[in-house]
């Protein structure tokens, strides 16, 4: 691995950590350079400006989300286990993120925000539809569900979770709202057999 790639990866990783903890607007390129222990000139070899850096960070975050969804799908015992793994992942992601991060992204970088939301909505809907199909085949979800309709419905609700007009940031943590939404979703899609299995999963590991 060459030095340029290593520096870029370090830049993305450091910026991601700072943006998630402290918000985006309050973090300058000087702050990031100090945290990395390099000159600001070194950073500008990798990116032209802060907006480009934010785009790289968000793309990296998106790719990590997709890798995690794929990994959970592959490793899960069944559809319910897969969905629980995904829910726990997003709950922990949101818990580690400052409310200022989403607010800053939406207010100051609307083009990046719009692209991020659209990409997540599309891929998350596909993942949900596949999960619903899997649960139907496994006999743990209700057989009167339309996977495409339910997937789009749930994905749209997830998008509303990060909409501060619907849920003001200071009112309640996003992680708590996702937990509530996941429970709401599950109790609407499982059959009796699935409900009993869900109880066993949640008794073993809480949704948090």
Q: Name the DSSP letter for residue 130.
A: H
Whether 83 and 138 have beta carbons less than 8 Å apart is answered as no
| Predicted confidence (pLDDT) per residue in 172-207, tens digit | 788 888 889 999 999 999 999 999 999 999 999 988
CA distances from 181 to 6, 11, 158 (A): 39, 34, 8
Burial class (CB in 10 A: 0-12, 13-18, 19+), 54: buried
Half-sphere exposure of 44 (CA within 13 A, CB side): 7
The residues pairing with 126 across neighbouring beta strands, listed in sequence order, are none
Whether 56 and 172 have beta carbons less than 8 Å apart is answered as no
Q: Give the residue extent of every domain in the chain.
A: 50-204
Give the pLDDT confidence score for residue 169 in this predicted structure: 62
Segment 82-94 shows an average pLDDT of 93
Provide the phi-psi class of 149: left if phi over 0, else alpha when psi is between -120 and 50, else beta: alpha
Q: Name the DSSP letter for residue 25.
A: T
Give the pLDDT confidence score for residue 1 in this predicted structure: 42
CATH assignment of 50-204?
1.10.357.10
Give the 3-state secondary structure of residue 78.
Answer: coil
The angle subtended at Cα 116 by Cα 114 and Cα 121, nearest 5°, is: 95
What's the pTM value of the predicted model, to 2 decimals? Answer: 0.89
| Predicted confidence (pLDDT) per residue in 7-55, tens digit | 999 999 999 999 999 999 999 999 999 999 999 999 999 999 999 999 9
Alpha-carbon distance of 94 to 87, in angstroms, equals: 11
| Dihedrals phi, psi of 183, to nearest 5 degrees | -65, -45
């Amino acid at each position: 691995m060459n030095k340029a790639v290593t520096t870029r990866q370090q830049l993305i990783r450091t910026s991601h950590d700072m943006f998630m903890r402290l918000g985006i607007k309050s973090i300058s390129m000087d702050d990031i350079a100090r945290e990395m222990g390099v000159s600001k000139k070194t950073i500008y070899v990798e990116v032209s400006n802060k907006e480009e850096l934010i785009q790289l960070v968000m793309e990296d975050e998106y790719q990590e989300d997709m890798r995690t969804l794929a990994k959970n799908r592959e490793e899960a015992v069944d559809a319910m286990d897969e969905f629980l793994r995904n829910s726990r992942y997003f709950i922990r992601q949101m818990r580690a993120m400052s409310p200022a991060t989403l607010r800053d992204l939406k207010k100051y970088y609307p083009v990046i925000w719009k692209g991020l939301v659209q990409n997540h909505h599309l891929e998350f809907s596909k993942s949900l539809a596949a999960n619903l199909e899997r649960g139907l085949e496994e006999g743990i979800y209700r057989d009167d569900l339309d996977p495409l309709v339910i997937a789009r419905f749930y994905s749209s609700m997830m998008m509303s979770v990060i909409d501060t007009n619907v849920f003001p940031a200071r009112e309640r943590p996003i992680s708590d709202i996702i937990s509530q939404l996941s429970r709401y979703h599950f109790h609407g899609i499982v059959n009796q057999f699935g409900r009993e299995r869900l109880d066993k999963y949640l008794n073993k590991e809480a949704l948090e």
